Amino acid sequence: MEKLVVVDGNSIIYRAFFALPPLTNSAGLHTNAVYGFTTMLLRLIEEEKPTHMLVAFDAGKATFRHEGYAEYKGGREKTPPELSEQFPLLKDLLRAFGIPQYEKSGYEADDIIGTLTRIADEKGMRVTVVSGDKDMLQLASEHVTVALTRKGISEVERYDPAHLHEVYGLKPHQIIDLKGLMGDASDNIPGIPGVGEKTALKLLHEYGSVEEVLSQADGIKGKMGEKIREHAEDARMSKKLATIFREVPEVPEWDGLAYGGYDGPSLQAALRKLEFKSLLEKMDFSGGADGDGEEGAAPAQESFDVAVVDDAKLGELIEALPAVDAMHIEAVGENPHHADVLGVALYVPESGRGYYVPYDVLASEAAAPLRDWLADAETPKRMYDLHKAEVALAWRGLPLRGVRFDVLLAAYLLDPTESALALDGLVRKYGLPQVASDEDVFGKGAKFAVPELARLADHLCRKAQAVSLLTPLMERDLEEGGMHRLYYDLEHPLASVLSTMELTGIRTDGDDLRTYGEQLAARLTDIMQSIYEHAGMEFNINSPKQLGEVLFDKLGLPVWKKTKTGPSTDAEVLEKLAPYHEIVKEILLYRQLAKLQSTYVEGLLKEINPKTGKVHTYYRQTIAATGRLSSQFPNLQNIPIRLEEGRKIRQVFKPSEPGWYIFTADYSQIELRVLAHISGDERLREAFLNDMDIHTKTAMDVFGVSANQVDANMRRQAKAVNFGIVYGISDYGLSQNLDITRKEAANFIEQYFSVFQGVRKYMDDIVQTARKDGFVTTLLQRRRYLPEISASNFNLRSFAERTAMNTPIQGTAADIIKLAMVQMAERLKAEGLQSRMLLQVHDELVFEVPPDELETMKRIVPEVMEGAIQLDVPLKVEADYGTNWYEAK
């Protein structure tokens, strides 16, 4: 099927210019925007595989819009010369790409694109519009997808009408109504003052269009109604200005836009001229780009010599083992404890050959040397996702040792926010020969199926090859980022520590759980009955929608806040509504118990392994953006503790050996101690050096009172301020948390900062650093990129600023406990202890301990945890033990 990709040239080059750091060639010409444009084009060609292409530009100064409104785009800054000089470079580059370009005096790129998409709609042809400008969304249709740049220019979000509706609740034609109401500062479109995106969307969801809003304006109360009536004319005109003109005469004919891919040598020459060396290196000009238009222009897969290993070929493989450089173990299924191991692919760079060993062959008697090789700590191996493979193989009695590099773990450290850590994306990023996506090979969801052997073998061997090619590049990048030690000394060894913990598992008493579940069930039935009586009807209490109808329509309770789908019924709202009606308290209790029943009783029961009588969680090491672990199947990092009712769940977690104990040790105030260290704040440091109660100390300093004058309420407020500080404080956030006014919250914060001046300086500095470098780091050089730190959108920018403040704190705390875990595992082994490390809950470690080791563990666990790293303030660990997790408080 034919497909046109049309790029809004001006919009994209602007985006690229501001998204990328300045970059000049040896002649002093700026090239950053062209560079960004180039990477975007390469990606587009590869992903969209267009048969037709066009880049449209604005032309001339006066467009027809100025005839109606002289100030159109009036307030806009002049194009900086560093950008203007790049337009001719871009146009040359497009010629090298062989991509048609078009501009027409008196019209903007929008109008050209609008006209082309109208024609495509009429003729039923597919178009993707690429732009950074939300206005373009009005063009979305059955045939037209609008791809908007997101997060710089490297990624796009594709909008068809359905997605548009999901995001904004609007039809494409309503986008101009949206602009009509909210205006657009960058185009000097006024809109209605005081109406931003949120209000505009609310109005449109209610009235549908600018005209309808205006005609009903008399019915809109308050300041809002006043503004709308006052600025009716502005709104009408703004809507008109935002409307893309779709009748540009003489746009190019469809056939003239045919695109058969670029010509390798011409493009190579152009990139060399621009001095885009890194891009040239990454690109593979040998295979693809043949210009036949069939494959698109992306580098094609090279042919690859793959041997499916059977009994007859095992000998050859075993002989080749010393030359194996990288491998891939395919374990399918989300939960590694239940994953199916399909087989092992091995790659030998010398011969360029791949070997695929199906699991049955691997498990056969003749494959013993291969299994020994896998288990040999002295034969170095490289792979993707060591942690998962190690767990999946262990359940089959197959040890895996000697893995020296894990491409997945490295990719996570290089960019922990990157969600696409799969191999297909990594090879693309590094410009290496392509690997198909797992989704393409296996399908997904209900359609998941293992392909025929030859296809499977080819795919998995290509993965092994990719690991081999990626390893040196990623090692170099880790080195450049100062993360070499973080990888080799911490994260890599941790993977195996985690595997051991998970395979050990924690004994979970199913009978206890079932008994508790029966009690819950009885109470839930009673409460449900009572709720129905109060409501005067039966309904599904679990449905926020139905619950909302009962509370707000039937019983007439006031709406406190709204979600995007209706009035909110969350616990915070219900607390406020409690005085109005008895039913509210019952709903809160119902929610609490229903949660315990579904997630903790039923959910946990499903996860108990019948063979071991334990639950075996899986810690994910490559998910959290801050460097924390997360836990799945089941999540053992969110077992209830705050309310007594739920805390009882902890009684079902027991030692797996009779007479043993559950032993817990947690860091006290680790995040604030970390903050004291990295900010160097004198008073905070002093507080910890004297081992004071930090919230009381904060209350003393903020309220200016002595220790015995601090009451419970003052301490509670100080505690909230401390939390706020760690999270990247805002007066709004604190006011919500403490249920006080924003002003009062702002006063608290000011008071706090005037006392803890070092903290204030840290907060200011870290945001500056993020803006300058584009990322922040933890104590161990873990890195998180914050591209939105310079966004013009307040929300995005503020979020990035809070993240800049929080990530070094949360991330350093994560570094520290990870260090402690690796050291703890070594220590247990070195001392020949039987005690086992079972769980990690962010600032807490859980062990099972035989009675005769209890005293030893009381000594060494705090010793190891407190000594994991040396900070300017002491680390403090509190330990406890009991016959189950509940008792080890």
* CA-based nearest residue to 808, from 836, 843, 782, 835: 782
> Quick one: 92 or 645, whose CB is closer to DNA?
645
3 state SS of 323? helix
Please count the other Cβ atoms lying within 10 Å of the Cβ belonging to residue 429: 17
DSSP E strands in 36-161: the ranges are 52-57, 101-103, 126-131, 144-150, 155-159
CA distance linking residue 652 with residue 647, whole number of Å: 10
Least separation in angstroms between CB 642 and DNA: 3
Half-sphere exposure (Cβ direction) of 603: Cα atoms closer than 13 Å:
16
> Quick one: 647 or 771, whose CB is closer to DNA?
647
Q: Please provide residue 183's backbone torsions phi and psi, each rounded to the nearest 5 degrees.
A: 75, -175
> Quick one: 197 or 887, whose CB is closer to DNA?
197
Helix (H) or strand (E) segment spanning residue 733: helix 731-738
> Quick one: 367 or 838, whose CB is closer to DNA?
838
Least separation in angstroms between CB 574 and DNA: 6
Terminal-residue alpha carbon distance, the chain = 64
> Quick one: 88 or 196, whose CB is closer to DNA?
196
Residues 132, 14: contact at Cβ < 8 Å?
A: yes
> Quick one: 469 or 734, whose CB is closer to DNA?
734
> Quick one: 16 or 721, whose CB is closer to DNA?
721
> Quick one: 519 or 563, whose CB is closer to DNA?
563
Question: Residue 562 pairs with which residues in a beta bridge?
Answer: 567
Least separation in angstroms between CB 782 and DNA: 13
Question: Residue 153 pairs with which residues in a beta bridge?
Answer: none
State the Rg of the chain over Cα.
31
Least separation in angstroms between CB 725 and DNA: 7
Least separation in angstroms between CB 241 and DNA: 20
CA distance linking residue 359 with residue 370, whole number of Å: 12
> Quick one: 485 or 561, whose CB is closer to DNA?
561
DSSP 491: I
> Quick one: 739 or 872, whose CB is closer to DNA?
739
* CA-based nearest residue to 107, from 256, 247, 254, 253: 247
> Quick one: 642 or 829, whose CB is closer to DNA?
642
**In sequence order, what are the residues at sequence separation of 6 or more whose Cβ sits closer than 8 angstroms to the Cβ of residue 115?**
245, 246, 247, 248, 251
Q: Please provide residue 630's backbone torsions phi and psi, each rounded to the nearest 5 degrees.
A: -130, 165
Least separation in angstroms between CB 493 and DNA: 22
Where helices occur in 536-613 by DSSP H, the ranges are 544-548, 571-577, 582-595, 603-607
**SS3 annotation, 381-403:** EEECCHHHHHHHHHCCCCCCCCE
Least separation in angstroms between CB 167 and DNA: 7
Least separation in angstroms between CB 823 and DNA: 19
Least separation in angstroms between CB 630 and DNA: 3
Give residue for tokens 């119902």.
590
- Which token pair is 665? 């040790």
> Quick one: 289 or 506, whose CB is closer to DNA?
506
What DSSP string runs through 132-196?
Answer: S-GGGGGG--SSEEEEEEETTTTEEEEE-HHHHHHHHS--GGGHHHHHHHH-BGGGTB---TT--
Least separation in angstroms between CB 539 and DNA: 9
Least separation in angstroms between CB 635 and DNA: 4
- Which token pair is 686? 């002093």
CA distance linking residue 14 with residue 17, whole number of Å: 5
Alpha carbon 42 to chain centroid, angstroms: 24
> Quick one: 166 or 691, whose CB is closer to DNA?
166
CA angle, 829 then 834 then 836, to 5°: 80
> Quick one: 598 or 754, whose CB is closer to DNA?
598
CA distance linking residue 704 with residue 691, whole number of Å: 20
